[in-house]
Amino acid sequence: MRIYLDNAATTWPKPESVAAAMVTCLAEQTANPGRSGHQLSMAAGRVVFAAREAVANLVGLADPLAVAFTKNATEALNLALFGVLAPGDHVITSRTEHNSVLRPLKVLEERGIAVTRLPCGADATLSPDEVADAFTPRTRLVVLTHASNVVGTLNPVAEIGRVVREREALFCVDAAQTAGVAPVDMEAMGIDLLAFTGHKSLYGPQGTGGLCLGPRVPPLRPLIYGGTGSLSDSDEHPDFLPDSLEAGTVNTVGLAGLLAGIEFVESRGLARVMADGRRRIETLTEGLRALPGVQVLSPAAPYGRTPVVSFRLEGFSSSEVAWELEQRAGICCRAGLHCAPLLHRELGTFPDGAVRLSPGAFTDSGQIETTLAALAEIILAP
């Protein structure tokens, strides 16, 4: 038996339609997209464009060509940060961030970019006023996660987007934890650069993700240069989207899967996805709270939360709990620091971290009951 509660790391299983779309693509559509004029290349190009349109629709972006595909959210965030920031600039971020923001910013700091890392307190959210107060005349960018990957609380991105826009900086949002499980609307939320990943709540395969660029973003410095299939008469890299940010052959098969994943999410409907997630997290959280020795890291979430709950168990390290859960009941979850070391310091859970449970579309109530029962058993008979 296997109970998979690690959907915040990557969703599993994937819908059958995702695997089927990838098999069809491999068998029938995988010439090189955008490189040749023959039917197979055109078919591959249509798959890639349909995936671009699906992403743009999902995130409230008018122009599908402003979706640049990458291999994951990390690459998209690197593209945004290295593409926008230059020595002398100031960037505002928070201590809630994932290492995919913290680490590139550390490198950029060494190159002369000033970084303010706002403390986020026990609820892992920021107030728009705190962001406003951190502005300096040199602030070029605000980069924040939409939701904490450890405790699931959402940041008030629409309100922060307004603050950023009033001050004429750019706003980059890491939607790795929210695309597919929470509303994401670049236009309505004032987001200029949106990094997403395909393999989490969009139910696509690993190796897919991207950066969506709003109309206010100036041309970005690419991370890599090379062939794009366009302007082949020139040895200069093209300067138009998406080619400027997509050197080399894209992951056509993966994007066929991502398209099917987005269609799966849309067929369930965001309202139902959110209601299901809320119900499962409430059951898990209440069950955890009723167990002796369990400390639930579940702060109030004034702006909503994603389906994630983390906890600690007195007398056990977080990796011991995860190990016991798997040995006793086949439960897959994630222990440790979740690539968010500064947040765990804020929460007082560094260096051991916590155990994170994250249900997904295929989690049922019986699996949640089994998980709570397994924890009760670990407590009673360690």
List residues near ligand PLP by CB under 6 A.
9, 72-74, 98, 100, 145, 149, 174, 176-177, 197, 209
Nearer to ligand PLP, 312 or 334 (CB): 334
Q: Minimal distance in Å, beta carbon 329 to ligand PLP?
A: 24
Residue 129's contacts (CB-CB under 8 Å, 6 or more residues apart) are none
> Burial, 255: exposed, middle or buried (Cβ in 10 Å; 0-12, 13-18, 19+)?
buried
C-alpha Rg value of the chain to the nearest Å: 21
Smaller CB separation from ligand PLP, 83 or 287: 83
Q: Residue 73 or 79: which CB sits closer to ligand PLP?
A: 73
By beta-carbon proximity to ligand PLP, the closer residue of 161 and 204 is 204
Shortest distance (Å) from residue 79 CB to ligand PLP: 12
Give the nearer residue to ligand PLP in terms of CB position, either 119 or 215: 119
What 3-state DSSP class applies to 296?
A: strand
The distance of closest approach from Cβ of residue 96 to ligand PLP in the complex, given in angstroms and rounded to an integer, is 9
- 106 CB-contact burial (10 Å; exposed 0-12 / middle 13-18 / buried 19+): exposed
Indicate the Cα dihedral angle 70, 226, 104, 336, nearest 10°. 40
Distance CA 205, CA 22 (A): 9
* Shortest Cβ 299–ligand PLP spacing (Å): 17
Q: Which one, 30 or 177, has the nearer CB to ligand PLP?
A: 177
Output the smallest distance, CB 292 to ligand PLP, in A. 30
Closest CA to 199 of 75, 332, 46: 75
Smallest gap from Cβ 367 to ligand PLP, in A, equals 22
Largest Cα–Cα distance in the chain?
A: 72
Integer Cα distance of 163 and 64 in angstroms = 26
